[in-house]
Amino acid sequence: KAGVTQTPRYLIKTRGQQVTLSCSPISGHRSVSWYQQTPGQGLQFLFEYFSETQRNKGNFPGRFSGRQFSNSRSEMNVSTLELGDSALYLCASSPGLAGGVADTQYFGPGTRLTVL
Amino acid sequence: GDSVTQMEGPVTLSEEACLTINCTYTATGYPSLFWYVQYPGEGLQLLLKATKADDKGSNKGFEATYRKETTSFHLEKGSVQVSDSAVYFCALSPSGSARQLTFGSGTQLTVLP
Dump the DSSP string for A37-105.
Answer: EETTTEEEEEEEEETTEEEEE-S--TTEEEEE-TTS-EEEEE-S--GGG-EEEEEEEE----SSSPPPP
Chain A interface, mutation test: which of B33, B49, B101, most A Cβ atoms within 10 Å? B101
CA nearest A111 in B: which residue? B43
pLDDT tens for B51-76 read: 889 999 999 999 999 999 999 999 99
Residue B83 distance to chain A (closest CA, Å): 19
Which residues in chain B have their CB less than 8 angstroms from residue A35's CB?
101
pLDDT tens for A38-97 read: 998 999 999 999 989 998 899 999 999 999 999 999 999 999 999 999 999 999 998 877
Q: Is pLDDT of A100 > 60?
A: no
pLDDT tens for B19-30 read: 999 999 999 888
